[in-house]
Amino acid sequence: MEPTKLSETLSVAGQVTAEEVEQLAEAGFKSIICNRPDDEEPGQPDFADIAAAAQAQGMEVRHIPVDAMHPVEMQKDEFARALAEMPAPVLAYCRTGNRCTMLHHAVSG
**Rounded to an integer, what distance in angstroms lies between the CA atom of residue 79 and that of residue 2?**
21
DSSP label at 40?
Answer: S
Pick the CATH number of 4-108 from 3.40.50.880, 3.20.20.60, 3.90.190.10, 2.60.40.1180: 3.90.190.10
Identify the pLDDT of residue 11: 98
For residue range 61-88, list pLDDT tens digits in order. 999 999 999 999 999 999 999 999 999 9
For residue range 13-50, list pLDDT tens digits in order. 999 999 999 999 999 999 999 999 999 999 999 999 99
Residues 6+ apart with CB under 8 A from 79: 33, 35, 64, 92, 103, 104, 106, 107
- Please state the domain extents for the chain: 4-108
Strand 10-13 to strand 90-93: parallel, antiparallel, or no bridges (unpaired)?
A: parallel
**Rounded to an integer, what distance in angstroms lies between the CA atom of residue 68 and that of residue 82?**
21
Side by side, the strands of the sheet bearing 60-63 are 4-5, 10-13, 90-93, 31-34, 60-63
* 8 A C-beta contact, residue 89 and residue 27: no
Identify the pLDDT of residue 109: 74
